[in-house]
Amino acid sequence: MKKFFIPEEPHDVKEDRTFLEREVLRLIEKRARLINRDDDSLDQGARYDAITDLNRRIEALNDKIKRF
């Protein structure tokens, strides 16, 4: 199967930063919902793993934002 090169369209760096910032806020809200969750649909281990994963993703996105 042939692979075709699709050139990237020129884009505004400011838009990328805004997108990343919005994504960080979305992940922070998701983490807050997990922390404040009262039901027992997730056991403590799974909740901790999910929060830890979100923290890593937030940290990675913040590092990308700092590089702009």
DSSP designation for 39: S
Q: How far apart are the first and last CA of the chain?
A: 37
For 8-41, write each residue's pLDDT tens digit.
555 666 678 888 999 999 999 999 998 888 777 7
Least confident of 22-26, 43-47, 62-66: 43-47
In a domain, 61, yes or no: yes
The parent domain of residue 58 ranges over: 13-35+42-67
pTM score of the predicted model: 0.70
Indicate the number of domains in the chain.
Answer: 1
In a domain, 25, yes or no: yes
Whole-angstrom CA distances from 16 to 9, 30, 62, 63 are 13, 21, 13, 14
In a domain, 19, yes or no: yes
